[in-house]
Amino acid sequence: MLRIEFQIQLSGISSRIVDIDDQVGSVEIDNALPVAGDSVFLFLTAQFDSDVSEKELAEKLSDIRIVDMSKAEVNQHTYYLGVIAPLSDASVLSILTENQAIPHRIVGQNAHLDVVASVRDWNHLKEVASTIEDEHGSLELVGTTQTETIGYPLGGNKIKQSMSGKLSDKQLEVLETAYKMGYFKVPQEVTAEEIAGELDISRSTLSERLRRVEHNFCELLFGAQE
């Protein structure tokens, strides 16, 4: 298997939501289900810089039916949306699945769609890339990695989706930085002091945020289930 990451011009549902307000941080397609006809049920995570109402979205996306809309518990400008939209709003997802590529992540941000998917090999990559370019124009290949496992398909990483609404932006920053710097490897590749220095925070602040992250993980795994 070959894990690929690429960028194309912003399009589909992500582009339409960004067009509503240029302060939209990102729009991620979490999952999708087919609907009869030329429609698709899309589950989205949208990050805004301020509050937005369901009525406002519905008025500006007149051909999209909002079935469900809720706020994240911590990141109050992050919204979870369930919508029924024209199939064209999920064109990249459709192209990937129709060409037997496995989508892992589709995020609209910074005027691009950032896509992570898995293909069989280099020949399969060429076929998929050619089809996407025919529909969306130029494609920029950001990276490729050989992998023995398929990994999570789109919508399969439930822990990540759940945690994204339970951690603050600062907690997510600490967790991601610690992970990327090798703090959780055995043996550790970096000290807590080095991470604190990278983030320009005190050692005690780093420790507190990491403890809160650990608490939220345990609550998700062992706490009461809704």
DSSP readout, 112-145? EEEEEEEESSHHHHHHHHHHHHHHHS--EEEEEE
* pLDDT value of residue 7: 94
- Domains within the chain, CATH numbers bracketed: 2-146 (no CATH), 167-222 (1.10.10)
Tens digit of pLDDT for each residue in 109-160?
888 999 999 999 999 999 999 999 999 988 999 999 998 877 777 766 555 5
pTM listed for this prediction: 0.70
User: Of 11-25, 61-75, 131-145, where does the model show the most confidence?
Assistant: 131-145
